[in-house]
Amino acid sequence: MENKLGSRPQVTGHLSRARMLISCPDQPGIVAGVSQFLYEHDANIVQSDQYTMDPEGGMFFIRIEFDLPHLDARIDAFERDFQQLATKFNMSWNLSPVSHKKRLAIFVSKEDHCLLELLWHWRAGDLDADIAMVISNHDDMRGLVEPFGIPYYHVPVTPDTKKEAERRHLELLEGQVDLIILARYMQIIPQTFIEHYNNRIINIHHSFLPAFVGGKPYAQAHNRGVKIIGATAHYVTEELDGGPIIEQDVQRVSHRDSVDDLKRIGRTIERTVLARAVSWHVEDRILVHENKTVVFK
Amino acid sequence: MENKLGSRPQVTGHLSRARMLISCPDQPGIVAGVSQFLYEHDANIVQSDQYTMDPEGGMFFIRIEFDLPHLDARIDAFERDFQQLATKFNMSWNLSPVSHKKRLAIFVSKEDHCLLELLWHWRAGDLDADIAMVISNHDDMRGLVEPFGIPYYHVPVTPDTKKEAERRHLELLEGQVDLIILARYMQIIPQTFIEHYNNRIINIHHSFLPAFVGGKPYAQAHNRGVKIIGATAHYVTEELDGGPIIEQDVQRVSHRDSVDDLKRIGRTIERTVLARAVSWHVEDRILVHENKTVVFK
Amino acid sequence: MENKLGSRPQVTGHLSRARMLISCPDQPGIVAGVSQFLYEHDANIVQSDQYTMDPEGGMFFIRIEFDLPHLDARIDAFERDFQQLATKFNMSWNLSPVSHKKRLAIFVSKEDHCLLELLWHWRAGDLDADIAMVISNHDDMRGLVEPFGIPYYHVPVTPDTKKEAERRHLELLEGQVDLIILARYMQIIPQTFIEHYNNRIINIHHSFLPAFVGGKPYAQAHNRGVKIIGATAHYVTEELDGGPIIEQDVQRVSHRDSVDDLKRIGRTIERTVLARAVSWHVEDRILVHENKTVVFK
Amino acid sequence: MENKLGSRPQVTGHLSRARMLISCPDQPGIVAGVSQFLYEHDANIVQSDQYTMDPEGGMFFIRIEFDLPHLDARIDAFERDFQQLATKFNMSWNLSPVSHKKRLAIFVSKEDHCLLELLWHWRAGDLDADIAMVISNHDDMRGLVEPFGIPYYHVPVTPDTKKEAERRHLELLEGQVDLIILARYMQIIPQTFIEHYNNRIINIHHSFLPAFVGGKPYAQAHNRGVKIIGATAHYVTEELDGGPIIEQDVQRVSHRDSVDDLKRIGRTIERTVLARAVSWHVEDRILVHENKTVVFK
Q: What residues of C are in contact with residue D295 (Cβ under 8 Å)?
A: 227, 254-255
Which residues, including other chains, have CB under 8 Å from residue C223's CB and lie 6 or more apart?
Answer: none
pLDDT of residue D226: 97
**Which pLDDT score, from 0 to 100, does residue A21 have?**
98
Q: What span, in angstroms and rounded, lies between the C-alpha atoms of B146 and A274?
A: 52
Mean pLDDT, consecutive 10-residue stretches, chain C (297 aa), reads: 50 79 95 96 93 84 95 95 97 96 97 94 93 97 92 95 93 96 93 92 96 93 97 95 96 95 95 97 97 96
Contact D132, D280 (CB under 8 A): no
Residue partners of B227: CB distance under 8 A and separation at least 6: A245, A246, A247, A248, A295, B252, B253, B254
d(C-alpha B285, C-alpha B294), whole Å: 8
Question: Are A271 and A240 in contact, with CB atoms under 8 Å apart?
Answer: no
- Asked if A249 is an active-site residue, the reply is no
> Hey, which bits of chain C come out as E strands?
17-25, 44-52, 59-67, 92-97, 102-108, 129-136, 152-154, 179-182, 201-205, 228-235, 245-252, 286-289, 292-295
Q: Does D268 touch chain B (CB under 8 A)?
A: yes
User: How high is the pLDDT of residue B11?
Assistant: 45
Is pLDDT at D61 greater than 50 in this prediction?
yes
- Hey, is D37 helix, strand or coil? helix
Predicted local confidence at residue D3, as pLDDT = 52
pLDDT tens digits, residue range D32-52? 999 999 999 999 999 999 999
For residue D294, pLDDT beyond 90: yes
Q: Which residue in A112, A178, A241, A257 is the catalytic one?
A: A241
Q: Give yes or no for residue D8 having a pLDDT over 90.
A: no
User: What's the gap in Å between the CA of D206 and the closest CA on chain C?
Assistant: 14
Task: Identify the pLDDT of residue B1.
Answer: 45
Give the residue extent of every domain in chain D. Answer: 17-97, 102-295
Q: Which of C116, C124, C264 sits opposite A120 (nearest CB)?
A: C116
Q: Given this model, what pLDDT does residue A4 score?
A: 54
Looking at domain A17-97, does it have CATH number 3.40.190.10? no
> Mind listing the pLDDT tens digit of every residue in chain B (297 residues)?
445 555 555 444 578 999 999 999 999 999 999 999 999 999 999 999 999 987 677 999 999 999 999 999 999 999 999 999 999 999 999 999 999 999 999 999 999 999 999 998 999 889 999 999 999 999 999 998 998 999 999 999 999 999 999 999 999 999 999 999 999 999 988 898 899 999 999 999 999 999 999 889 999 999 999 999 999 999 999 998 999 999 999 999 999 999 999 999 999 999 999 999 999 999 999 999 999 999 999
Return d(Cα C282, Cα C205) in angstroms, integer: 19
What lies within 8 Å, CB to CB, of C258 at 6+ separation is C222
pLDDT at D11 (0 to 100): 45
Reading chain A (297 residues) residue by residue, the pLDDT tens digits are 445 555 555 444 578 999 999 999 999 999 999 999 999 999 999 999 999 987 667 999 999 999 999 999 999 999 999 999 999 999 999 999 999 999 999 999 999 999 999 998 999 889 999 999 999 999 999 998 998 999 999 999 999 999 999 999 999 999 999 999 999 999 988 898 899 999 999 999 999 999 999 889 999 999 999 999 999 999 999 988 999 999 999 999 999 999 999 999 999 999 999 999 999 999 999 999 999 999 999
Q: How far apart are the first and last CA of chain B?
A: 34
**By the CB < 8 Å criterion, does C36 face chain B?**
yes
CB distance A143–C264 less than 8 Å? no
Specify the long-range contacts of residues C160-164, CB closer than 8 Å, at least 24 apart.
Answer: C162/C190
Which residue out of C120, C122, C142, C297 would a mutagenesis test of the A interface target, given it has the greatest number of A Cβ atoms within 10 Å?
C120
Q: What is the pLDDT of residue D240?
A: 85
Q: Is the minimum CB–CB distance between D297 and chain A shorter than 8 Å?
A: no
Nearest to A292 among B225, B249, B291 (CB): B225
Partners of C51 on chain B (C-beta within 8 Å) are 47
Give tens-digit pLDDT for D261-281.
999 999 999 999 999 999 999
Asked if D224 has any chain C CB less than 8 Å from its own CB, the reply is yes
Higher pLDDT, D228 or A5: D228
Whether C273 contacts C204, CB under 8 Å? yes
The answer to whether A58 contacts chain D (CB < 8 Å) is: no
Q: Which fold has domain C102-295?
A: Rossmann fold (3.40.50)
Nearest CA in chain C to A5: C143
Q: Is residue B144 within 8 angstroms of chain D, CB to CB?
A: yes
The DSSP H or E segment spanning D86 is helix D71-89
CA distance B5 to chain D (A): 6
Kindly report the nearest CA distance between residue A26 and chain D, in angstroms. Answer: 9
Q: Which of C4, C116, C145, C261 to mutate to test the interface with A (most CBs of A within 10 A)?
A: C116
Separation of alpha carbons A37 and A82, rounded Å: 8
Q: Counting one residue from B and one from D, how many pairs have CB atoms under 8 Å apart?
A: 28
D5–B264 CB contact, under 8 Å: no
Burial of A199: CB neighbours in 10 Å, binned 0-12, 13-18, 19+: middle
Contact with chain D for residue B48, Cβ under 8 A:
no
Strands of the sheet containing D102-108, edge to edge, are: D152-154, D129-136, D102-108, D179-182, D201-205, D228-235, D245-252
Instruction: Read off the amino acid at residue A112.
Output: D
- The reply to whether D262 touches chain C by the CB within 8 Å rule is no
- Cα dist from A147 to A6, A142, A143, whole Å: 10, 9, 7
Among candidates D230, D248, D293 on the partner chain, residue whose Cβ is nearest the Cβ of C255:
D293
* Distance in angstroms (rounded) separating the CA atoms of residues D125 and C228: 29
Contact D120 B124 (CB under 8 A): no
State how beta strands A292-295 and B17-25 pair. unpaired
CB < 8 Å to B247, chain A: 227
Tell me, yes or no, if D5 comes closer than 8 A to chain A by beta carbon: no
Contacting residues of A for D43, CB less than 8 Å apart: 28
